[in-house]
Structure formats: C-alpha cells, structure tokens
Amino acid sequence: MRSNRAKTRAGVSLAATLPLLAGALALGISAAHAANSPDRDALAGTKPAWATAVADKGATSDNTKVTARVYLAGRDAAGLTAFAKAVSDPNSPMYGKYLSAQQARAHFGATKAQIAAVTNWLKASGLKVTGTTQRYIAVTGDAAAVHKAFGTRLHNYAKGKRTYRAPAQTASVPASLDGAVLTVTGLDNAPHKANHKDTLPPPDDVFRNSGPFSSYHGSTVATTLPKAYGQQIPYAVKGYTGKQLRAAYGAGQATGKGVTVAITDAYASPTIAQDAAAYAGKNGDAPYAKRQLTQVLPSDYTDTEECGAAGWYGEETLDVEAVHAVAPKANIVYVGAASCYDDALIDSLGKIVDGHLADIVSNSWGDIEANETPDVAAAYDQVFQLGAVQGIGFYFSSGDDGDEIANTGTKQVDTPANSAWVTAVGGTSLAVGKGDTYLWETGWGTQKATLAPGGKSWTNFQFNSGAGGGTSRTVPQPFYQKGVVPNSLATAYSRAGNRVVPDIAAIADPNTGFLVGQTQTFPDGSQQYSEYRIGGTSLAAPVIAAVQALAQQERGKPIGFANPAIYDRYGSKVYHDVVDTPTGKQLAVARVDYANAFDATDGLLTSVRALGKDSSLKAVRGYDDVTGVGSPAPGYVESWRRH
C-alpha cells in the first residue's frame, strides 16, 4: 500500500505547485542567518542563554577536542517552511499535495556544490570531516580550529553545579557560503539528553502490581479502606487493554490496515517481537502478520550506561503494544537511536524522513525546555518540516511532571513537544465502565496520599505526577493556535504570543493505565514474561498515533502534519472536552503496591490517588494546557473522510 501512495505523491507536479508556493512565501519567514560582519553570517542561537558573563570561567584550552555537526540549510530553507505550512493547512489550496522523499530532497535538500563548499571550508579551517549526509556534516577538531571556522572562542561556564564549554560569541560562517549552513551543534557540551517518560521504575528488574484491582472502572470498591474525599472509592484497574481503548476513542470498524506507524526510542529491546506476540495472544489483540512489526537499528550503540539502556526496553514495549492494541492491522516499524542524545535521536527521525518509512511517527521521549538550545531546535524542526512536505506527522509526549516546578523549580514545557511542527500529546485519567462504555476523563494530575498508621485515614497529600503542558518561552505562537488557545496562556511570556502545549490528549494516568507485557529480570536471575500496568504521556503518544492510523485508513491518504486540521475541528463533537471534575465531585482511586515491586514479602503500600490535580495546570472547558483540544470521541476517526 505504501508504495502505491508513493507513486501518487510522485505524480504531484512541481510545476503546478511551485506557483502556489511562491504565494506561500509571502507568509513572512524570517532569515535563517543575520550578518554580524560584512563577510560573515551569524548562526542565531548557537550561544546558549546560560553562557553569560557572570558564569564565565575563562577560555577553553585551544587543545580541547570538539565534536560537532554542521547542519545544511539546503536549497531553500524559507521555501521548505512555507511549503510545509501550505500542504498541512486545510484552508490552503495546496493542502495534501505532498511530495515524495525524492522530490523533497531534489527541491529542498543540499546540492552537491553546497556540500562540497561547506566541506572544503571546514577542512581548510583545520577540522576533520568524519561523516557526511544530505542533512549534516560531522566534524572533529580542537578548539583552535573551531575558532577559525566559526569565528568564536570557546569558554567554560558555570551551569548549576557543573561547568560546561560553550561559544563566547554567536557562531558564524563565511558569507561566501551563501546561506548553505543552517546551524552547528556540539560547540557547547552541556547535556542534551532525552529521557523516556515511563512513570514506573525502568523494568530491567521485574515490576509487578499488587491487587486488589478493578477490571473496569468502579468494578471493585475499596470498602475496607477509609473514605476519601467524602466517598468510598474504587480500586485502580488492573490495566486497560486494546478493546477498552478502542471503544473509548471511537475506533469503530477501522483497524489501521494499509497504514505504517513508526516508533522512535533509544536502543532496542532484544525480546520485543516475542513480547509483543505474547501480549497480543493473552489480551485479545489480533496476532501479528508476517513482517507487520519490523525494526531499523543502528550498527552500534553508545552511552548505554549513562542513558540507562535497559530502561528504554520498557518504553519500546509500551509503544509497540499500545499502537497494535488500538490499530491492530497497522504496520509498525521501530527505528532505534544509538543513544539518548539529540544527535542520535535526530538521526533516527532522519531515517524515517529520508526513506519515508512511515506516515505517522510516535515519540515518547523528551527533555525540559531549559535544556534545549536554538541550534538543536533548528535541526529538529528541519526534519519535521521535511516530513511535513511528504505527508509525515510526528507525535510527541508532553511530559509527566506537570508544570515541571516540582521537578526543576521552574515552570516550563518539554521539548521537542514544544516545536510548532509536531503534535504534542497531553494526558488524561480515563474511566471505562462495564461493557467497555466510556464514562469520563479528567486531566491527568495525581495527588497522592498514604494510609495513616492505624488504617483509619489518609495522610501526606502531595502532587505525584501529571501531564506536561503550558506555554513555551522560546517558540512563537503557530498560526493554527490563534483564535483557539486563550490569550491568557499564549501571552504568558510574550505580548506577541507563544506556542502552548499540548494539542490533543489521551489516556496517560498510570492509575487508570494500560496493561503491558514484557520480559523482565526476576529476583532469581531468570528472564520471564510478565505483565504490569503503566502510564505516562509515553502511553498517550502511541495511543494518539494509533488513532491517527485509524483516521488515515478512513481518509484513504496521508494525514501529514495534523495540527492545522486538529485545530480546525476544535469545538466539535469529535472531541471529548476533558475537565478535571466531570462528575462534579473529586474523583480518586485506591492503589496497593508491593513495597519491593515484586511480591508481598516486604509488605504492601496502600495509597489513594486523587485525579485531576495537575500541579498548577487545570483541565477546563475549551482548550487547556493539560489536554489541548480534548481527546478523540466517537466520530473523530470518521471525520477525516471529509478532509
């Protein structure tokens, strides 16, 4: 099926679309570089905000080894941005007129002459070229060569309790390169490390849930425990499965057949195929067809200890099993990154775009916005835009620490979910009742209280976890959010307005979470398959990606970058408008956990988890920064037939 769609895209006439593109360029795209001297072009954003005069600890030694990437702007960076917008906007005459991967490279990729010119300049500066792709040139060299190439010395700067290297001035390149360079990354060496968003401990050692459980919301009430919020509360579900999620989000008869979903994470679970097959068999999902699940993996892995490689196995397992549970006939291709660092993750995304491996890409990883630098953001956005012109959409989890104040001390959003070119997926607490009936959702925000000594009351109420969201401090407000996102959110940091996260939402609360099955290490050292409940926006992202696969099947052609169309449906009945108190009362569930995460040998921990209490973020009527426009309702999947 995908090859047939590729042929359709290859039939799009550039002669027909380029006149429209010329009009789209009037949208107002700012220049990528600004001259800081007559013969140099500045690479905006290459000096991090934390590299201040107060933090300056002096020059880095000229002999310091530096590894960097010089990202290529391609033939027409401004045209790429305009084209990506035009083909994604339902109100544009170019909507849906995607290019093939070959056409995208031919029109927006770097030319051989540009690659040669940049390569020669880097070598002449004393840097060694270690790798070349259509998107970047990798180099190594000492700090003295970096100064010669980029017109800036490197200094050491205090950042928190550590000291890191960074440019003392904004990096620049010769004007004679004529805009061929988009940005350079690696000049600063502060961590740019993505975290997977599991809300449970990394499952390299076994994790199991204790009972009692509910099989559906409210099926088992905790009558032996004290009341909470004035009422007896139910035990948490054992973990929802595909049948319940498909009913909750209006899957209908759609299965995702003919659609490919890509999943990116770091590393790769060595047992994913057998675990996914076992889970499907045990939980009523369709068996996998031959080559329905495939993997594209790097030849080598790096930073395995620093990145906690084994912890990423559970992330991949959750993503694969959630996509298959909701879209049982969609093809899944897992594209693993060599590490948890930005360069490796950008490479995994680039493989999907360069080979058009899928139309929908689920990504359950990210970092806080304060750790992002504009140079790295530019490299990500270029990949997202190259995907958009081909009809590829990227979906990113919004984070699991609410407004991040409890986690970092600063109110902020996560990245790359903050990009204007991805769909940020927020989280909900979901109640599915008897007969797979959708009951309600709240915004995911958990206040935890423990059972007091004597077992007669609850004590120690505190924020535990919740869906990430809020207003970006760095990304301007995208066109599709105007008129939908309240000004009070958009203008929190800028009168002109900024990007607000998320865009859409789905189940994320681990207390109303998804049952997952994975091979884990048991206390006796054996490797065994077992199942446990899990959540996080790591769950919400693949669930929404799977729902989009159902919608694309209904549409009969790629959805592409979905945000303009998602916001175009705002206020309609195709969304559940999620609020924190949908029944008018405070909602909560009781949860019992093994103290040692495996069995009752070391005792049990009993707690109550209040729902809809997400730090300072609130799920309210209309758009909000916990659930965006809401979660998919019956009719959402079918609504894509009309677009």
Q: Which fold has domain 196-642?
A: Rossmann fold (3.40.50)
Residue type, 629: V
Residue ranges in the chain whose pLDDT is less than 50: 1-36, 198-203
Q: Map 339-363 to HEC letters.
A: CCEHHHHHHHHHHHHHHCCCCEEEE
Q: Measured between alpha carbons, how far is 559 from 484 in angstroms, rounded to an integer?
A: 21
Contact predicate 410/404, CB 8 Å:
yes
Q: Measured between alpha carbons, how far is 233 from 100 in angstroms, rounded to an integer?
A: 54
Identify the DSSP state of 289: P
Contact predicate 407/401, CB 8 Å:
yes
pLDDT, residue 23, reads 39
Maximal CA-CA distance, the chain: 78
CA distances from 263 to 76, 332, 394, 470, 545 (A): 29, 7, 10, 25, 9
Give the list of residues 6+ apart from residue 513 with CB closer than 8 angstroms, or none: 237, 239, 240, 507, 533, 534, 535, 539
pLDDT, residue 22, reads 42
Q: Measured between alpha carbons, how far is 104 from 353 in angstroms, rounded to an integer?
A: 10
| Other residues' Cβ atoms within 10 Å of the Cβ of residue 621 | 8
Any idea where the domains of the chain sit in the sequence? 2-190, 196-642
Q: What is the pLDDT of residues 144-155, one digit of tens each?
A: 999 999 999 999
Helix (H, G, I), strand (E, B) or coil at 279: helix
Whose CA is closest to 476, among 437, 419, 404?
419
pTM: 0.93
